Structure 1
Amino acid sequence: MVNLNIEEIMPDIEHLIEDGNSGALLNILMDMHPADIEEILNRLKKEQRLYLFNLLPTELASEVLSELDTPVVDQILEEKTEEEISSLVDQMDSDDAADVISELPEDKAARVLDKMTEEEAEDVKQLLHHEEDTAGGIMAVEFLAMPENATVNQTIEKIREMRDEIDELYNVWVVDEHGHLIGSVSLTDLVLAHGNTKLKQIMDEDLHFVRVDMDQEEVANYFRKYDLVSVPVVDEHMKLVGRITVDDVVDVMEEEGAEDLAYMAGAPDEEIMEESTFVLSKARIPWLLVAFFGEIVSAFILNSFEATLQQKVISAFFIPIVMAMGGSTGQQASVIVVRGLATGDIGLGDTKRRLFKEFRISLFTSIFFSALLFGVVYFWDGLLFASILAFSMFVVINNAAIVGALIPLTFKRFNIDPALAAAPFISTSNDIIGLLIYLSITTFALRMF
């Protein structure tokens, strides 16, 4: 593989595509890593992308296909016949093949499975039965399991036989006569042991494993916590059914991180490589509607306090700062909690402690900004309104911090993705509540004084 600067070669790639110089293109692509080819395909227009992909030999094309984002995969596969798709997925690991086939229309997926080799088709069907976002959905069924009475020499011979089937081998899993996982042997221990040594004599019985129904985000946290590179997957009876490697976990971490950011931005289910304006708009509009109707409620609140605004016109000038400080405080608290829940650093058992911590932080910040605002408004309008505004800011900031921390924790308790809370729910709710608090305090104070 060569190390190329994609930015530098893109003009040459596009020029060669326009000229239809397939020979020169293949000379360039054959020396590149599939991930680099994937990056090139992502930067091309649809027609150029299809032309370039169709030049690739089947084995390389299957490796590139497993790297591509879903919208690009859809573009490529819609031009392919069932025979062509089956030849591509036959070259993939079972988990990658299952990911590709799961994106196909149901009838087309069934026809592709019929054209695959029987063994590969059965592996893919097994994976498709599991939920997509679980350990079963991301595992591969290509693994090496040996009986506990097998010798080191027998195990090494088995590794040689399976070298084309298993790309990355880190451990040999040891099973009993019923296929139940009972231990593991590292490659280091395997190489250093005598040839006639039985695996049960050198296996590690204190091993890490995950259940087939464990959420993929929990799997990623499990890998991170114990610094794992590979882990076996077992069913409810401890029967070995697959394995997950660190490259799968890296993909999960990227996917979960992107998903959380998308929820926080109010643009979930949006693929970066998606080109359809309608699809992208359809994903964003529901979340924008929440913000839209939330601000309509804010408008009604303003209308109901019309008399107060007319009596003290200056109070309208500070509505933006009150809403902004409340919204920003709520977002800060929610993002910290969402991230902590995602990484496992915060759990539901930490709810009271977390809320108290956020209250302590908001207490300090609210005092700081209330004092700052009091000083500004005191020289602008005098003591009374400065006090009203400072007290309103104090209450709004503290309320926003508690709401921002509490909503993600509540979502988590009801098994709803906490990232959903970040936007637009928290920002919109804090706008409404903050506005209501500010104008209610102002109205009460003006009546009393």
Structure 2
Amino acid sequence: MSETAVARQSEERDDPLTPQFVRQVIDALDRGDGDQVRNLIAPMRPADIAELLDLMRTDERRALVEMLGPELKPEVLSELEEGVRDEVIALLDPGDIAQALAEMDSDDAVYLLEDLDQQGQQEILSQMPADERAALERALEYPEDSAGRLMQRHLVAVPPFWDVGHTIDYMREAEDLPDEFYEIFVVDPAYRPIGTVPLYRVMRSKRPTKISDIMNTEQTLIRVDTDREEVARLFEKYDLISAAVIDENDRLVGVTTVDDIVEVISEEATEDIRLMGGIVNEEAVGDSVALTARNRFSWLFVNLLTAILASVVIGLFDATIEQMVALAVLMPIVASMGGNAGTQTMTVAVRSLATRELGPLNALRFMRRELMVGVVNGILFALLIGAVGGVWFQDAMLGVVLGAAMIVNMVVAAVSGILVPMALDRMNIDPAVASSVFVTTMTDVVGFFAFLGLAAIWLM
């Protein structure tokens, strides 16, 4: 058996959502065999059930949710894509949703509620216990994409004068502790965090040992209004597993854990890739044709306007092109090479700005490097394409013009690829959204203008 076949078999064993399994579920849905559907779904983990729902058509998804009813695991809702999640929530009874939220961590519950309209939120919250409802309402008051929305409120906090034995007994007896946690927070009488104790240190210490003797006083505190991208950067920078979230009075109000940050990093990276492709609104594979077309139309329209600008530049040299048809054949090469080079620089710049690796202190050094890269690549490709163009059309001067235009455009691509994202960032505009249009327009316009302009001067 080939290595590829072995790898495919291993992947199918690890992934329960094989085509055969999905077909089994859909066939059972078509027959209306609820028992078979529930038997197939019961052993699945929430993330796999969510992926199955994402793969289904709307009618199949509705049938599956209706057949599962209250047996639909609450954790599934927090794993769904946003569009699918809203669709599934609309199919569920508000009382069932309220019960599911009560069983979730507070951060997952907020994630489900935040995209619902005010009426939908209140309809669900009204059926929850008063204390849990108040906690969720407070979390929803924090800014979107902030640490306050990301945190979970259940945590373990103890005073520094407790000993290890008292702390362990407390964790065994308390009913409102989180299901999973990695460290214990140490707080003063005003509930301000003054240190942390990793669980392993508690378990390895003698019962009479004071918490103050084994706690770490160095800690990373995150304010509730901190943007989640900044929270992710802090976790990456300091290799955190969890971090305390504090309010405006420096009091402990929640904890952010690494599993939430992994999702943030994935979502932010996906968002940057989507925006750089001109997809402004979030899309899912299951979105309708009409919705997808509407989401993409606006940015494609902007691209159309910039393409017209490049065509206007070409129109300025229509007489030159008429006298030498070879120019029309070769000019897309200059523009496309510049566009690709600009996209490379822009991609590095946008990502470096997002991760704070690029800033005022090293911007000049980065620009100098990219400029030199543009010059070096411009010269190399100028020699290559200039020779090809000269031999192709039996005109050495045409090759020189082509090479010179290539150098000019590669340098412009390098400069615009860094200046455009940095300028947008300074104006508080997300550089991932608009950089590609501006950079591509600049390289197209400069490429056509340089090539046709030099041709008009040197060849006509």
Matched, 1:228 2:240: yes
Q: What is the rounded CA distance, in whole Å, between the counterparts of 1:150 and 1:385 in structure 2?
A: 84
Alignment correspondent of 1:138: 150
Asked whether the equivalents of residues 86 and 112 of structure 1 are also in contact (C-alpha less than 8 Å), the reply is yes
Deviation by residue 1:159-205 (Cα, 9 ceiling, x = unmatched):
22456641221000111111111100111111122223332222110
Q: What is the rounded CA distance, in whole Å, between the counterparts of 2:432 and 2:299 in structure 1?
A: 13
Q: What is the rounded CA distance, in whole Å, between the counterparts of 2:160 and 2:33 in structure 1?
A: 56
How much has 1:32 moved relative to structure 2? 1.6
Paired AA for residue 6 in structure 1: L
1:307 paired residue among 319, 322, 325: 319
Matched, 1:68 2:80: yes
Matched, 1:260 2:290: no
Q: What is the rounded CA distance, in whole Å, between the counterparts of 1:29 and 1:347 in structure 2?
A: 50
Of the structure 1 ranges 373-382 and 291-300, higher mean CA displacement relative to structure 2 is found in 373-382
SS in 2 for 1:64: helix
Alignment correspondent of 2:411: 398
Percent sequence identity over matched residues?
A: 33
How much has 1:135 moved relative to structure 2? 1.6
How much has 1:425 moved relative to structure 2? 2.9
Q: What is the rounded CA distance, in whole Å, between the counterparts of 1:119 and 1:175 in structure 2?
A: 22
Alignment correspondent of 2:16: 5
Q: What is the rounded CA distance, in whole Å, between the counterparts of 2:357 and 2:93 in structure 1?
A: 47
Alignment correspondent of 2:395: 382
Q: What is the rounded CA distance, in whole Å, between the counterparts of 2:28 and 2:322 in structure 1?
A: 69
Asked whether the equivalents of residues 396 and 438 of structure 1 are also in contact (C-alpha less than 8 Å), the reply is no
**Does the C-alpha gap of structure 1 residues 161 and 63 become closer, same or farther in structure 2, counting only changes over 3 Å?**
farther
Alignment correspondent of 2:62: 50
Alignment correspondent of 1:331: 343
Write out aligned runs for 1:68-87 (5 A).
68-87=80-99
SS in 1 for 2:451: helix
Of the structure 1 ranges 171-180 and 20-29, higher mean CA displacement relative to structure 2 is found in 20-29
2:424 paired residue among 400, 408, 411: 411
Q: What is the rounded CA distance, in whole Å, between the counterparts of 1:200 and 1:397 in structure 2?
A: 61
Q: What is the rounded CA distance, in whole Å, between the counterparts of 1:97 and 1:150 in structure 2?
A: 32
Q: What is the rounded CA distance, in whole Å, between the counterparts of 2:115 and 2:434 in structure 1?
A: 28
Deviation by residue 1:366-393 (Cα, 9 ceiling, x = unmatched):
0001011221122224232222221111
Of the structure 1 ranges 217-226 and 362-371, higher mean CA displacement relative to structure 2 is found in 217-226
Alignment correspondent of 2:5: none
Paired AA for residue 420 in structure 1: V
Q: What is the rounded CA distance, in whole Å, between the counterparts of 1:205 and 1:57 in structure 2?
A: 48
Matched, 1:426 2:439: yes
Q: What is the rounded CA distance, in whole Å, between the counterparts of 2:367 and 2:175 in structure 1?
A: 53
TM-score, reference length from structure 2: 0.91
Asked whether the equivalents of residues 348 and 413 of structure 1 are also in contact (C-alpha less than 8 Å), the reply is no
Q: Gaps spanning 5+ residues in structure 2: where?
A: 1-12
1:172 paired residue among 169, 175, 184: 184
How much has 1:292 moved relative to structure 2? 0.4
Matched, 1:219 2:231: yes
Deviation by residue 1:307-327 (Cα, 9 ceiling, x = unmatched):
222233321211210110110
Write out aligned runs for 1:117-196 (5 A).
117-162=129-174, 165-196=177-208
Asked whether the equivalents of residues 154 and 176 of structure 2 are also in contact (C-alpha less than 8 Å), the reply is no
Q: What is the rounded CA distance, in whole Å, between the counterparts of 2:274 and 2:64 in structure 1?
A: 31
Alignment correspondent of 1:209: 221
Deviation by residue 1:4-29 (Cα, 9 ceiling, x = unmatched):
53113111111111222222322232
Of the structure 1 ranges 429-438 and 65-74, higher mean CA displacement relative to structure 2 is found in 429-438
Asked whether the equivalents of residues 185 and 204 of structure 1 are also in contact (C-alpha less than 8 Å), the reply is yes
Of the structure 1 ranges 294-303 and 434-443, higher mean CA displacement relative to structure 2 is found in 434-443
Deviation by residue 1:31-81 (Cα, 9 ceiling, x = unmatched):
221111111111122222123234446475211001101101111122234
Cα RMSD (Å) of the superposition?
2.0
Q: What is the rounded CA distance, in whole Å, between the counterparts of 1:210 and 1:239 in structure 2?
A: 11
SS in 1 for 2:126: helix
Paired AA for residue 354 in structure 2: A
Asked whether the equivalents of residues 58 and 88 of structure 1 are also in contact (C-alpha less than 8 Å), the reply is no
Alignment correspondent of 2:3: none
2:119 paired residue among 63, 88, 107: 107
How much has 1:446 moved relative to structure 2? 4.1
Paired AA for residue 198 in structure 2: S
SS in 1 for 2:162: coil
Paired AA for residue 242 in structure 2: S
Q: What is the rounded CA distance, in whole Å, between the counterparts of 1:429 and 1:131 in structure 2?
A: 37
Q: Gaps spanning 5+ residues in structure 1: where?
A: none
Paired AA for residue 293 in structure 1: L
Paired AA for residue 214 in structure 2: I
